Structure 1
């Protein structure tokens, strides 16, 4: 059989009419893709941008700095007294100054109790005293007469005490002394009907009024306090003791005078006022619970009017802040407390803007500032910004285009706080 008649017509059609165009299209597409791939530019790779931490700095300057210890306490009166009625009776009058907050002078009459009964008691005791005087004089004359009579009788024996009337004379003398004591008691009771101010002071609280009956040794008249000086009891820690001179008293009575000045600050109506004081003494024991020593600061004449300002009086009960002046440290550095890092180090920024972790000697740590005595030199640039991760020599960038303004500001701030 002939081969032409054996091949199927569909196969012939596929080989001559379909496959050649498909192969040509595939070859063309492959060439186009290869050319496009060859002409395509490789993607540009961006180099990573390194971001340096930005820090705030200040310039360190050495200076003589006076150490201050800051503590707090409550103003107390130097002397406080609760007046108690010493006699019973009806209140006849009271002083116009006897009210809470009223001022008085030493010797002022504060309260007058009805004196009639005590005046009568004094008159009666004086009468009995006069009678006792007369009886003593009469008995003395009788004793002298008895001695003369014994001699005139020519008795050689010693007369008995009864003959010489010595017991009778002793009794008359004792009665006279008792009458004299009764007069003094009556005079004292009468004087106690007048309640006088024991010192210059002020009334804290009044308990009585006119017409009220009071009882001796039980009725309170008023609570008063002196105004010549005020005291503030101030706690200091054992570490703070080395910064200041503390007045001490010894068993032989010798006391050391510290002459330590104390600046007292208190706020009234949103304004802060100051008073000058001094350390008067220290208490005799350290508190076993808190391990604190209490020193007592004194402010003289706390109720005096200030001619240079509208400063109010330093009232009893006022909560105050006390700044105790200590010794002066030469060539010291005062930095913000936040600039002092762990393990007593600071971060110093070099001229190449690299960090140096530098150890320092800390003389005093305050709430806002720290006082350094070694480890820095004038002109060092100190980092103030908190940093989470720090490596010695790491690069930083200093905040601000003109760092001299920041340095000047930091320098002025430091000088103002010294």
Structure 2
């Protein structure tokens, strides 16, 4: 019994060893296969999917090479060329003030604005006239006495030379001097009398009224402040770059308006832009030490009359105006719309594939409509005009004409279709086959769905027929039973 047990154990141990001998190599082989597959998966490069660019529609314009007239845009404040304090030249009480002499009043040259009490000055004139009359009488008397002295000397002088004193010449000169002095005093009295009327020295307006009727004033006292309306001036601060653009000499002065530079002056009045035509007539003698700018002076002739803006708007003192000065004319300058120029002097261009590029440009001149460039963009380039963030520069663009958005300059979809046509024939066939397969699958699924619906309808119809048949058979059976019962009752 024990020997049999030992034999059985040995037999089972041998079988186990045989299984291990067979299984271990298989397990090792499987392990290598699994490891190899894992390593292959680790070393295999993942499929790289080409990232498609988002698409965006923009408007663009074509950069052109053109002739450009440079312009300088600056600002300044209007002021009258002549502005003074009105003061009397004689003392006295004010007895008259012109109705025109009020703040904002308009007057003409020669108008009497103030009148000083002339009573004392009339008296002075009368006295001066009396003094002149006395001086004339003295002169006539001396002339007569001098003539008598000449006759006496001729009779008694015995041929000797008479002295001036003998002929009373000094007395005659004194009388003549006395007359001249009296006449001068008369003239002075008349002048002082005329000065009691304070008149306007030019055509102008009243800025400020200080003195009024009944007030006593002395020579030099302020009666008010007035300014001339003949010419208005605007001082324009020019930088070195501005001076170079308009080619203005440093010490520029001209008296002829034909030799002066044209300047357009404008301001918003009453909600509309008003424009005045002016001329640069001179520059300041020195630079402004604070701004390091040179001031040019523009003049507008008769700003309240013929020089007024449309609608009769004058260039009033204190009006802040924008000035546009015409400068040099340059050829071969690249011109783009003003909206195409981005901050920090950058321009976005787009090619025929709808891909944009950023360019740094050298700006020569700008105005609200266009920007003139010295370089950075080639003529013929498509420059993007639409508002665009720099973060959107990697988009693909469908480009429309800025002047007529119905005109498509670059269509990305058409370009992609062209690229598909340019693919190898095998790739096109494969794509077509895939498309047909997808359509076939779609048709099969649709047919299968329709078959299931038709089968369901047929089953419902068949069940309905069977129910109707059973109903008719049941009714026939019941009718037959009733007939049988009726026959039995009759019998």
- TM-based fold match above 0.5: yes
**Corresponding residue number in structure 1 for 2:246:** 244
Count of residue pairs brought into register by the alignment: 358
C-alpha displacement of 1:70: 0.8
CA gap 1:81/1:53 in 2 versus in 1, 3 angstroms: farther
**Corresponding residue number in structure 1 for 2:163:** 160
Structure 2 unaligned blocks of 5 or more:
3-45, 408-491
TM-score w.r.t. structure 2 length?
Answer: 0.65
- Per-residue displacement from partner, 1:32-81 (whole Å, max 9, x unpaired)? xxxxxxxxxxxx99957454596855312344433221111111102112
More helix by share: 2
**Corresponding residue number in structure 2 for 1:283:** 284
Q: In 2, Cα distance between the equivalents of 1:86 and 1:92?
A: 15
**Corresponding residue number in structure 2 for 1:226:** 228
- Per-residue displacement from partner, 1:129-176 (whole Å, max 9, x unpaired)? 111011012112212221221221134443333222222222212111
- Per-residue displacement from partner, 1:163-215 (whole Å, max 9, x unpaired)? 22222222212111110110110111011011111111111111121222211
Equivalent residue for 2:176, pick from 170, 173, 177? 173
CA gap 1:336/1:321 in 2 versus in 1, 3 angstroms: same
Q: How does 1:393-408 map to 2 (within 5 A)?
A: 396-398=395-397, 403-406=399-402, 408=404
Three-state SS of the structure 2 residue aligned to 1:404 is strand
**Corresponding residue number in structure 1 for 2:115:** 112
Three-state SS of the structure 2 residue aligned to 1:142 is helix
**Corresponding residue number in structure 2 for 1:204:** 207
Three-state SS of the structure 1 residue aligned to 2:64 is coil
C-alpha displacement of 1:362: 3.3
Equivalent residue for 2:64, pick from 45, 49, 61? 61
C-alpha displacement of 1:397: 1.8
Q: Does 1:321 align with 2:317?
A: no
Contact 1:245 1:258 survives alignment (8 Å):
no
Say which is worse superposed, 190-199 or 309-318, in terms of deviation: 309-318
**Corresponding residue number in structure 2 for 1:31:** none
Show structure 1 runs of 4+ deviating over 6 A: 253-256, 305-308
Contact 2:84 2:227 survives alignment (8 Å):
yes
User: Once superposed, what is the RMSD of the aligned Cα atoms?
Assistant: 3.4
Q: In 2, Cα distance between the equivalents of 1:299 and 1:334?
A: 34
Q: Does 1:267 align with 2:268?
A: yes
Contact 1:136 1:169 survives alignment (8 Å):
yes
Three-state SS of the structure 2 residue aligned to 1:148 is helix
Q: In 1, Cα distance between the equivalents of 2:358 and 2:124?
A: 90
C-alpha displacement of 1:89: 1.3
Contact 2:303 2:315 survives alignment (8 Å):
yes
C-alpha displacement of 1:336: 2.9
**Corresponding residue number in structure 2 for 1:184:** 187
Q: How does 1:27-176 map to 2 (within 5 A)?
A: 47=49, 49-51=51-53, 56=58, 58-59=60-61, 60-176=63-179
C-alpha displacement of 1:245: 4.5
CA gap 1:79/1:247 in 2 versus in 1, 3 angstroms: farther
**Corresponding residue number in structure 2 for 1:29:** none
RCO comparison, higher one (Cα < 8 Å, 6+): 1
Three-state SS of the structure 2 residue aligned to 1:162 is coil
- Per-residue displacement from partner, 1:336-382 (whole Å, max 9, x unpaired)? 3772576x664432112334455655323669964214454443112
Contact 1:334 1:369 survives alignment (8 Å):
yes
CA gap 1:368/1:308 in 2 versus in 1, 3 angstroms: closer
- Per-residue displacement from partner, 1:385-409 (whole Å, max 9, x unpaired)? 352698xxxx5422xx5x3243647
Three-state SS of the structure 1 residue aligned to 2:147 is helix
C-alpha displacement of 1:232: 0.3
Q: In 1, Cα distance between the equivalents of 2:327 and 2:165?
A: 81
Structure 1 unaligned blocks of 5 or more:
3-43, 412-418
Structure 1 or 2, whichever has the larger Rg, is 2
